[in-house]
Amino acid sequence: MVIFDFDGVICDSLKLCRDACQFAAKQQNSSVILETNPFRYLDPVTFEAVAQELGLNENIFSRDVASYLYEYGEQAPFFFGMSQAIETIAASHDLFIVSASHSDVIRQQLHRHKLLSSFAGVLGGDIAGSKKEKIQHLQTTFKTKAIMLGDSISDIKAANESDALSIAVTWGWQPQGYLDKENPTLMVHHTYDIAKAVISLETQLK
């Protein structure tokens, strides 16, 4: 079983998600101007955590972010080579997404890229539970260890705390040096290395 984070791993959505957070902040009459990457050192990387940093209502903020992303999600491309990597891995593994973004937003974007059928399930931020709890639930349900692909320190923490394996990607929202602190099982620097990294960990999935 292979679990992907979505934003920053599959989808090149940093600018879109930053703009969504800016929109959500303005909806609560905040005059704050967010930096280019407000998620760089955030832990956990969730929209609720951004709202908390800004002193805003987390539930309303998350709702407004989801609304913005649902309307403008088509503006964010998938990283080059990601579709091929997903299709290759899906041929021999069950794939899931565990993300802070709303499940419907993720499904919409996967459908647009003709990848929705490659995933057995999408567990977005609208579904109760932390990433750790969702990984544990999937491992318990399918009775197998998971590989988690993430671009944030909270992704790697969730995998480590769930006794899952982890692959940190360096093209996402948080810097390599920050990811190193959580000791991911592997680290990859290009999308075309994902399938090879998954294959190298297969013997540890039993």
pTM: 0.94
Residue reference for tokens 């929705």: 116
Residue type for 132, please? K
Alpha carbon distance 94, 48 (integer Å): 29
pLDDT in tens, 145-177: 999 999 999 999 999 999 999 999 999 999 999
pLDDT the model gives residue 206: 63
Q: What is the mean pLDDT of residues 63-92?
A: 95
Which tens digit of pLDDT belongs to each residue from 98-116?
999 999 999 999 999 999 9
Q: Which residues contact 105 (CB under 8 A, 6 or more apart)?
A: 66, 69, 70, 73, 124
